[in-house]
């Protein structure tokens, strides 16, 4: 628990340092609404907010744990779930190159939801569709970043969305 507090403090300090570093970025054109420092600053501000919230939560947990000591127990089922989660993440990395971002991300999210014990069909269908649509619009349409399209028929499917 104390390690989590230290990590949150390091994240806050590191993000603050990087934000001050982004202030030295120069705009390419004075007419650009968003310069090269805008996106990193947005990400770093969110990182600082989340680290601060997590720091407060960890301090509260540490105080509660001091009142009622209870050692955490990690069983075989938790280790098995962790191993499966790591395997799903690694498989997602390799499968995305073959089938493209859209299909791989939908499959990854469905697999991860099932692995976490989600059984409601509406959640299993809606969550990947909303998140993939949001990610696709953010990265492909707003930020103009190329996403993996896959190969063969999967590439043809991915090109339908461009």
Question: What pLDDT, in 10s, does the model give residues 7-29?
Answer: 999 999 999 999 988 888 776 66
Q: Kindly compute the dihedral angle of the four CA atoms of residues 79, 81, 82, 84, in this order, to the nearest 10 degrees.
A: 120
Model pLDDT, residue 62: 84
Please tell me the least confidently modeled range out of 50-59, 70-79, 104-113.
70-79
Model pLDDT, residue 40: 87
Tell me the average pLDDT of the chain. 86
Model pLDDT, residue 162: 75
Model pLDDT, residue 151: 87
**CA–CA separation, 152 and 162 (whole Å):** 16
Model pLDDT, residue 122: 93
Model pLDDT, residue 99: 92
**Block residue for tokens 């953010």:** 138
Work out the pLDDT band at 71, boundaries 50, 70, 90. Answer: low
User: Which token pair is 24?
Assistant: 């030295």
Is the pLDDT at 36 greater than 80, yes or no? no
**CA–CA separation, 88 and 90 (whole Å):** 6
42-53: pLDDT as tens digits = 899 999 999 999
| Predicted TM-score (pTM) above 0.75 | no
**Block residue for tokens 């280790």:** 79
**CA–CA separation, 4 and 109 (whole Å):** 27
Is the pLDDT at 125 greater than 90, yes or no? yes
**CA–CA separation, 47 and 62 (whole Å):** 22
């Amino acid at each position: 628990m104390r390690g989590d507090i230290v990590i949150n403090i390091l994240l806050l300090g590191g993000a603050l340092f990087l934000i001050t570093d982004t202030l030295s970025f120069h705009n390419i054109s004075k007419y650009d609404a968003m310069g090269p420092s805008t996106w990193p600053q947005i990400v770093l501000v969110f990182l600082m907010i989340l680290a601060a919230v997590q720091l407060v939560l960890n301090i509260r947990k540490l105080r509660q744990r001091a009142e009622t000591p209870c050692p955490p127990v990690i069983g075989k089922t938790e280790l098995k779930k962790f191993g499966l989660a790591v395997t799903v993440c690694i498989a997602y990395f390799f499968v995305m190159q073959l089938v493209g971002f859209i299909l791989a991300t939908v499959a990854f999210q469905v697999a991860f939801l099932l692995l976490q014990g989600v059984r409601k069909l509406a959640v299993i269908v809606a969550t990947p569709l909303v998140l993939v649509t949001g990610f696709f619009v953010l990265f492909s349409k707003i930020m103009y970043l190329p996403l993996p399209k896959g190969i063969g028929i999967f590439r043809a499917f991915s090109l339908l969305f461009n």
